[in-house]
Amino acid sequence: MERTGVDLFSSPPPLAPPTTEEQLLDWLCLLRSRRVGPASFRRLMTAHDGSAAAALDALPAIAAASGTADYRPCPRDQAHMELRAGRRAGARLIALGAPCYPPLLAELDDAPPLLWALGALGQGALCGQPDAPAARLLTTPGIALIGARNASSLGLRMAGLLARDLGRAGVPVVSGLARGIDASAHRAALEAGTVAVIAGGIDTVYPRENAALSADIVRTGVILSEMPPGTQPRARHFPRRNRIVSGLVRAVVVVEAAARSGSLMTARIALDQGREVLAVPGHPLDPRAAGTNMLLRDGARLVRSAADVLDALDLPAAAQPAPRRAVSKPPATPAPYGRSAPPRAEAALPPRLGAGLRQRISALIGATPLPEAQLFAQVPDTPAAQLVATLQEMEIDGEVQRLPGGYLSRE
CB of 348 to a second copy, least distance (A): 22
**Helix axis angle, 38-47 to 52-65, nearest 10°:** 100
Residue among 254 and 335 whose Cβ is closer to a second copy: 254
Query: Is 373 buried (19+), middle (13-18) or exposed (0-12) by CB count in 10 A?
Result: exposed
CB of 1 to a second copy, least distance (A): 46
CB of 302 to a second copy, least distance (A): 5
Nearest to 180 by CA among 245, 235, 255, 236: 255
In whole angstroms, what is the distance from residue 283 CA to residue 31 CA?
A: 46
CB of 305 to a second copy, least distance (A): 7
Among 53, 302, 349, 379, binds a second copy (CB under 8 A): 302
Q: By rule CB under 8 A, what string of x and - marks binding of each residue 112-131 to a second copy?
A: --------------------
In whole angstroms, what is the distance from residue 74 CA to residue 31 CA?
A: 8
Q: By rule CB under 8 A, what string of x and - marks binding of each residue 324-363 to a second copy?
A: ----------------------------------------
Q: Does 297 sit near a second copy (CB under 8 A)?
A: yes
CB of 192 to a second copy, least distance (A): 21
Q: By rule CB under 8 A, what string of x and - marks binding of each residue 134-173 to a second copy?
A: --------------------x--xx---------------
In whole angstroms, what is the distance from residue 291 CA to residue 187 CA?
A: 24
Binders of a second copy among 57-76, rule CB under 8 A?
none
Sign for the CA dihedral angle at 325, 328, 333, 337 comes to positive
Residue among 17 and 160 whose Cβ is closer to a second copy: 160
Residue among 223 and 253 whose Cβ is closer to a second copy: 253
Q: Does 303 sit near a second copy (CB under 8 A)?
A: yes
Helices and strands in the chain: count of H runs, count of E runs: 18, 12
CB of 347 within 8 A of CB of 355?
no
CB of 257 to a second copy, least distance (A): 13
CB of 314 to a second copy, least distance (A): 16
Residue among 99 and 291 whose Cβ is closer to a second copy: 291
CA atoms within 13 A on the CB side of 292: 28
Give the interface size with a second copy as a residue count (CB under 8 A): 22
In whole angstroms, what is the distance from residue 11 CA to residue 108 CA?
A: 7
In what side-by-side order are the strands of the sheet with 401-403? 370-371, 407-409, 401-403
In whole angstroms, what is the distance from residue 99 CA to residue 139 CA?
A: 8
Residue among 296 and 389 whose Cβ is closer to a second copy: 296
In whole angstroms, what is the distance from residue 213 CA to residue 222 CA?
A: 12
CB of 349 within 8 A of CB of 386?
yes
In whole angstroms, what is the distance from residue 160 CA to residue 311 CA?
A: 19
Residue among 93 and 296 whose Cβ is closer to a second copy: 296
Residue among 207 and 287 whose Cβ is closer to a second copy: 287
Q: Does 189 sit near a second copy (CB under 8 A)?
A: no
In whole angstroms, what is the distance from residue 278 CA to residue 294 CA?
A: 11
Residue among 102 and 160 whose Cβ is closer to a second copy: 160
Nearest to 315 by CA among 195, 169, 175: 169
Neighbours of 67 (CB within 10 A): 7
CB of 288 to a second copy, least distance (A): 10
3-class DSSP state of 174:
strand
Residue among 309 and 357 whose Cβ is closer to a second copy: 309
Q: By rule CB under 8 A, what string of x and - marks binding of each residue 256-295 to a second copy?
A: ------------------------xxxxxxx--xx--xx-
Summarize as ranges the residues that interact with a second copy (CB under 8 A). Answer: 154, 157-158, 280-286, 289-290, 293-294, 296-297, 301-305, 308
